[in-house]
């Protein structure tokens, strides 16, 4: 087990990865297997759901499923497996999710339809429960790059080596339960170290069983997850969506909060009221809708030089009247909530309020 931790926190609060922490995978000559689709692999793996996958020079992606190395690529909207167990890969990438049925359930309003047009093929992954829970406990007030650096640092310091991979497996909670707060902080976690350690110890002593609670109905499961240190409503919804396949769960982060305000034509509400509205407005696959909305907004922000008015542009077609109404809604949200128009989050489960968002770069 490596004794070093490649992530270091700089004075400006950013986490810098050493060269050793940039994962490289062996290139093995294997027979490629077409697993089906449709899937947009880049959008799926870059949408803030998971944090350790690496895009290789040839366009393929390398990652881990537990302690097994995986290499996949996309060809003609199908997932192609180059290395790894096909049954686990099919399940992880949720190739059985009925995307056309999900798309048919998207709201007809222009923001949802614009996100759908931009993000078709993105799938909600089925993630290992402990790894997903740990990742989102560390996500508070952090961007995707920072969450990734913490994940890689934890793997390097506490995880076991995996054949065919230059990154280690994510350590089980039994291993992290024996760690110390200072050791976790050396991996860039800051105050999150204590929450992750306490959660690992609760799981190790059997207080909560992440597999056993999977049978609980969604509302009760959300409450159970919130018993874990560092898990609030939003992080619990991230875990529900990405680890427990509760596809109606809606994590309300800064982006989604702003979008919901625009949908409500500026009517504010408590977090509980906005959550209830999201479930009513976004439909039975609300989790998918919010992920498409979030990723579309995040990618458009990068390409629009922080011009919020262009974030949810509808393609030039019969939606022209809806486009005008959409722009009016966005202008309202920008003028009434300036913090949202200036600073936006880039992680799936980071800041939860305009005040918190101001701390993000």
CB-hemisphere CA count at 13 Å for 155? 27
Q: Where are the alpha helices (DSSP H) in 245-350?
A: 254-263, 271-282, 286-303, 320-336, 338-342
> Count of residues for the chain?
361
Sign of the alpha-carbon dihedral angle for 21, 167, 144, 117: positive
pLDDT of 231-288, one tens digit each?
Answer: 999 999 999 999 999 999 999 988 899 999 999 998 988 888 999 999 999 999 999 9
What is the C-alpha separation between 93 and 43, in angstroms, rounded? 12
pLDDT at 99 over 70: yes
Tokens of 323: 């486009």
Pinpoint the residues of the chain covered by CATH 1.10.340.30.
129-243
Q: If you ran DSSP here, which 8-state letter would residue 249 be given?
A: -
CATH number of 129-243: 1.10.340.30
Q: In DSSP terms, which residues pair with 63 in a beta bridge?
A: 70
Number of H helices, E strands in the chain: 17, 7
Residue 244 in tokens: 């427990």
**Peptide bond just before 161 cis, omega within 30 deg:** no
Q: How large is the average pLDDT for residues 298-302?
A: 80
State the pLDDT confidence band at 319, using cuts at 50, 70 and 90. Answer: very low
* pLDDT, position 298: 86
Per-residue pLDDT tens for 211-233? 999 999 999 999 999 999 999 99
Tokens of 98: 């009925």
Identify the band that residue 88 occupies on the pLDDT scale cut at 50, 70 and 90: very high
279 CB-contact burial (10 Å; exposed 0-12 / middle 13-18 / buried 19+): middle
The pLDDT mean for the chain works out to 80
Q: Residue 54 pLDDT more than 50?
A: yes
**CB 87: neighbour CB atoms within 10 A?**
9
Residue 27 predicted with pLDDT over 50: no
Is residue 10 classed exposed, middle or buried when 0-12, 13-18 and 19+ CB atoms within 10 A define those classes?
exposed
In this predicted model, what pLDDT tens digit does every residue of 323-345 receive, in sequence order? 333 343 433 333 333 232 222 33
For the full predicted model, state whether its pTM sits above 0.85: no
Residue listed under structure tokens 């990865």: 17
Structure confidence at residue 303 (pLDDT): 63
pLDDT at 31: 59
Residue 213 has what DSSP assignment? G
Question: Residues 169-228: pLDDT tens digits?
Answer: 999 999 999 999 999 999 999 999 999 999 999 999 999 999 999 999 999 999 999 999
**Closest Cα partner for 66 from 85, 82, 41?**
85
Q: What is the pLDDT of residue 6?
A: 39
CA distances to 33, 137, 181, 218 from 192, rounded to whole Å, are 40, 7, 9, 26
Counting residues of the chain whose pLDDT is more than 70, the rounded percentage is: 75
DSSP string, 225-247: HTTSTT--HHHHHHHHHHHS--T
Rounded to 5 degrees, φ, ψ at 25 are: -110, 150
Structure tokens at 280: 């009513």
Radius of gyration of the chain (CA): 20
- 222 or 306, which is more confident: 222
Alpha helix ranges (H) inside the chain: 41-45, 86-92, 99-104, 110-119, 129-137, 144-158, 173-176, 181-185, 192-204, 218-225, 233-243, 254-263, 271-282, 286-303, 320-336, 338-342, 354-357
CA atoms of 78 and 75, how far apart (whole Å): 5
Question: Could you tell me which residues are beta bridge partners of residue 61?
Answer: 55, 72
Cα separation, 258 vs 270, whole angstroms: 13
């Amino acid at each position: 087990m490596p004794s070093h931790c490649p992530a270091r926190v700089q004075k400006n609060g950013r986490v810098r990865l050493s060269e050793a922490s940039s994962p490289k995978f062996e290139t093995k000559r294997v027979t490629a297997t077409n697993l089906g689709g449709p899937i947009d692999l880049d959008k799926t793996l870059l949408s803030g759901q998971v944090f350790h996958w690496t895009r290789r020079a040839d366009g393929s992606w390398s990652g881990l499923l537990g302690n097994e190395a995986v290499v996949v690529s996309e060809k003609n909207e199908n997932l192609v497996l180059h290395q790894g167990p096909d049954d686990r890969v099919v399940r992880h990438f949720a190739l059985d999710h009925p995307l056309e049925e999900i798309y048919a359930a998207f709201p007809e309003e222009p923001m949802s339809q614009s996100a759908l047009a931009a993000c078709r093929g993105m799938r909600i992954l089925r993630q290992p429960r402990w790894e997903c829970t740990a990742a989102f406990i560390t996500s508070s007030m952090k961007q995707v790059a920072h969450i990734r650096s913490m994940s890689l640092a934890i793997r390097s310091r506490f995880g076991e080596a995996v054949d065919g991979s230059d990154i280690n497996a994510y350590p089980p909670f039994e291993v992290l339960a024996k760690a110390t707060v200072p050791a976790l902080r050396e991996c860039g976690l800051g105050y999150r170290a204590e929450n992750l350690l306490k959660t690992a110890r609760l799981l190790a002593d059997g207080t909560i069983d992440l597999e056993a609670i999977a049978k609980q109905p969604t509302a009760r499961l959300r409450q159970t997850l919130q018993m874990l240190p560092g898990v609030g409503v939003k992080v619990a919804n991230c875990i529900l969506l990405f680890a427990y396949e509760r596809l109606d769960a809606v994590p309300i982060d800064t982006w989604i909060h702003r979008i919901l305000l625009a949908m409500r034509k500026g009517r504010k509400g408590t977090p509980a009221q906005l959550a209830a509205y999201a479930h009513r407005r976004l439909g039975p696959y609300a989790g998918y809708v919010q992920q498409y909305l979030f990723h579309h907004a995040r990618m458009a922000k990068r390409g629009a030089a922080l011009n919020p008015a262009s974030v949810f542009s509808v393609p030039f077609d019969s939606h022209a009247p809806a486009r005008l109404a959409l722009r009016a809604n966005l202008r309202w949200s920008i003028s009434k909530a300036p913090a949202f128009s200036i600073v936006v989050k880039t992680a799936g489960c980071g800041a939860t309020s305009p005040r918190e968002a101001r701390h993000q770069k």
